[in-house]
Amino acid sequence: MNFIQLRSYDNYVTANIQMAMLISEGIVCHLNDENTITIDPLLSPAIGGMKLMVHEAQAPRALELLARTDNDFLHHIPCPRCHSQSLEAVTAITKPSGILQKIGWLIEHGQAESIKTRFHCRACGADFDQIENSA
């Protein structure tokens, strides 16, 4: 079976909750590097965190389920600036261009690309790196 990485986590609770949700929907998946990160969290940036691995044939369905649960969660979180409930997650993937840059990213981040999620309020246009769950 061929597995592909869908997400990376530095928190084993979130990783296991999302993996359990996928398993309950019949998605074949597992976590790579869970034990290593749980034992020594400081290694997370070096090895790229816990990786949610999903069977490649089920990846589109898994991405759909994860996106739906993320949007359901964000629907209940008010914007820190305007307090409307119109937040959305925006994910940007940055890939290094040359071989030297790729090697540098692998050393610095533990993976060959950077995946960054920011939160955007559709009502006031504000962007946030993190949001707090006050709901």
Check: CB of residue 4 under 8 Å from CB of residue 29.
no
Give mean pLDDT, residues 70-99.
83
pLDDT band (50, 70, 90) for residue 135? very low
What global pTM score does this model have?
0.68
Question: Among 27-36, 68-77, 101-110, which stretch is predicted with the lowest mean pLDDT?
Answer: 101-110
Task: Clarify whether residues 47 and 87 are in a common domain.
Answer: no
Q: Which residue has the tokens 């070096």?
A: 46
Domain with 58, as residue range(s), is 1-74
Judgement on whether residues 110 and 131 belong to the same structural domain of the protein = yes
Q: Using alpha carbons only, give the angle 98, 59, 71 rounded to the nearest 5 degrees.
A: 95
57, 86: one domain: no
Question: Are 66 and 84 members of one domain?
Answer: no
70 shares a domain with 19: yes
pLDDT of 113 reads 66
Q: In terms of domains, do 3 and 18 share one? A: yes
Q: How do strand 29-32 and strand 3-9 relate by DSSP bridges?
A: unpaired
